Amino acid sequence: MKRYESTVRGLLEKADVQINGEREQDIHVHNDDFYGRILAEGSLGLGESYMDEWWDANALDVFTEHVLRADLQHHVRWNWHNILSVLMAILSNRQTKKHSREVVKHYDMSDVLPEALLDSWNQYTCAYYDGTEDLNVAQEKKLDLICRKLRLQQKDRVLDIGCGWGGFAKFAAEHYGCHVTGISISEEQVKYASRFCGGLPVDIQSCDYRDLGGTYDKILTCGMVEHVGYKNYRTLFQKIHDVLSDEGLYLLHTIGSNRSVKTGEPFLMKYIYPLGMIPSAVQIDEARSGLLSLQDIQNLTAHYPPTLLAWYRNFESHWPQLSQQYDERFRRMFEYYLLTCKGAFQADHLSTLANGFL
């Protein structure tokens, strides 16, 4: 046990993190089994031991930022769980229509999403903090930025692939007067979005992107590509090419990874986004090559930390009501998810890209 502790302390020192220290990046260990667990289980063990109250951080996002900047995850040996995950990702295609219900489990948590966590437009991607510190205003600015990049006009037939709870569809229909078709494979989202957009020229459908037909002038995927899987990027862009009009515009808004990977982060895959995987700019560029011409790219990474902090504060303020449905382990799981993601963006481990295609 002392050997494990010595090894972990040595690793954390590389990230300027101390155990039982008082700085923002320091952590406090409550169970000595913590040391062996994270050496054996890596990032999944780190997250699950936090859920189990084996350790706490003075500032979880700052701790994560320090760990990622020091690249500590590559100093911890791989375990069979990680190896199996990568092999499965290489040898099989888990993001098929057959497995699509696994993808949407997170989005069907109706007690948390969207109203307890998000803004008045139900946006579950980063806001655009342009001259504001208010989440609601920042998300409205993000929606208008998307509409302006797509050059929306009243005559446009607009398609929102992975429409979420209908926020973009409602905004575009109300502010630009265009007709919007939104699709989702989450039945909860389809029902909610249909109500949310009631009375507007909006059609919300339960549909997989692989089943799309028709022709559209403008197409959006916002926070959807992260669930597609690297084996399906080309399929998605081929479908978008097929249903986009000759002079049409497509906008991709996605979280991006600085590395091209073939599987997702173990903790997030298990507890938040089953089968989720963050694409790299290289993977996206290769998949769209020959189908879509890149016209514009904007990096919005700096806007994600304040968005995640706003979501965390919303979650905290709603916890008295949510605690009637969920236990403390769930609270710590959601806290860990939001604040470690914030730290990942602060460390430039993740980025947010808005790409315009023709």
E-strand spans in 264-348?
Answer: 294-299
Give the tokens for residue 58: 């003075």
- The secondary element (H helix, E strand) that includes residue 253 is strand 244-257
Within 13 Å and on the Cβ side, how many CA atoms surround 136? 4
| Whether residue 207 lies in the annotated active site | no
**Nearest of 46, 39, 10, 6 to residue 267 by alpha carbon:** 46
- Of the candidates 126, 178, 222, 341, the residue annotated as catalytic is 341
For 227, other C-beta atoms within 10 Å of its C-beta total 22
What is the C-alpha separation between 12 and 22, in angstroms, rounded?
15
**Nearest of 169, 173, 176, 145 to residue 354 by alpha carbon:** 145
Q: Quickly tell me which residue has 């089953």 as its tokens.
A: 274
- The secondary element (H helix, E strand) that includes residue 157 is strand 157-161
Q: What would you report as the CA-atom Rg of the chain, rounded to the nearest whole angstrom?
A: 21
Positions annotated as catalytic residues are 341
